[in-house]
Amino acid sequence: MITAAHRIRSGDDFRRVFKAGVRVRSDHLMAHSLIDSDDSHAARVGFIVSKAVGNAVRRNRVKRRLREIMRVRLDSLDPGALFVIRALPQAAEAEFSVLESEVTMLMDKALKKLESRGRRT
């Protein structure tokens, strides 16, 4: 389970990540990432799974899978990092291992993109 200290819950934080952060995409997921200049907080993660993914059962299954994937990867994020994963409609049909590899790839791509742009707010 991801603790409250590691979750993005504020709409303002989500908007800030979308506006000032970087975006990367894979076949089933899209990720937005930002490294906050105030790195006093732990790395935080947010999830967006819209109704386009499917009914409540499918959406909740995708969310549970993404939470578990990120739970074991939280230590690899820098303090102050904000990372939002948006599930695309195809994510409902994807296997756990596929989502897992895509999240790892998205984290790497987002980190490289952030470093190349020097994005800090």
Question: What angle, 0 to 180 degrees and rounded to 10, lies between the N-to-C axes of helices 56-71 and 96-117?
Answer: 60
CA dist., res. 16 & res. 62, Å (int): 24
**Per-residue model confidence (pLDDT) at position 37:** 76
**Tens digit of each residue's pLDDT (9 = 90 or more) over 62-88:** 999 999 999 999 988 888 899 999 999
**Per-residue model confidence (pLDDT) at position 42:** 87
Residue 60 pLDDT greater than 70, yes or no: yes
**Tens digit of each residue's pLDDT (9 = 90 or more) over 86-100:** 999 999 999 999 999
pTM for the whole structure: 0.90
Residue 39 pLDDT greater than 70, yes or no: no
Distances (CA, A) of 59 to 35, 54, 81, 82: 28, 6, 25, 22
Residue 121 pLDDT greater than 50, yes or no: no
